[in-house]
Structure 1
């Protein structure tokens, strides 16, 4: 069985009062995706910057899972503490 490409949509809510820190964190994390066969298809923000929607693709599920456990990503998140964004991730596919 081959590991098929996957697409996810991430709905990112910045912590109240920490929009800039959250945006810097997201910039840094998204820069890591290439290590794992991932790329950003779209990145959209609300006018106040408090919410971000990201459409991401990965060459494989293993690549996506590797991003989640990347030591650099985990350290960045830990460093933010209460300022870390809250993210809901949905795996999606095209509608026929």
Structure 2
């Protein structure tokens, strides 16, 4: 695990699966939520889309674990989640580390 005090911060990969009923609406949700990252010290480093537009993979870096925690509890993010309801995607987040050679 990456220590929250480590200079490189926290590196995450998010595997996002859009709602089968409305993948376009799921993308709208992701666009809105990803725009909130900078207010918590987060940076979207890469955003990849599956060829069928039903999944995305995000590489996200936070300056600290605390920034990630405040992003997850951001009232605007939670409100978006509620307003998109069933159209909101499901996401699996994996903490990763870059090899130090």
Q: TM-score, normalised by structure 1?
A: 0.94
Gap regions ≥5 residues in structure 2: none
**Cα 1:95–1:83, aligned 2, differ >3 Å: closer, same or farther?**
same
Contact between 2:44 and 2:61, CA under 8 Å: does it hold in 1?
Answer: yes
Q: TM-score, normalised by structure 2?
A: 0.90
State the shift of 1:3 in Å: 2.6
Contact between 1:8 and 1:90, CA under 8 Å: does it hold in 2?
Answer: yes
Q: CA RMSD in A?
A: 1.4
In structure 1, the residue matched to 2:49 is 45
Show structure 1 runs of 4+ deviating over 3 A. Answer: none
Q: What is the distance in 2 between the residues matched to 1:3 and 1:46?
A: 34
- Any idea what the Cα deviations from partners look like across 1:6-32, whole Å, max 9, x if unmatched? 000000000102111110110011100
Q: How many residues align?
A: 96
SS of the residue 1:22 aligns to: helix
In structure 2, the residue matched to 1:87 is 91
State the shift of 1:83 in Å: 1.2
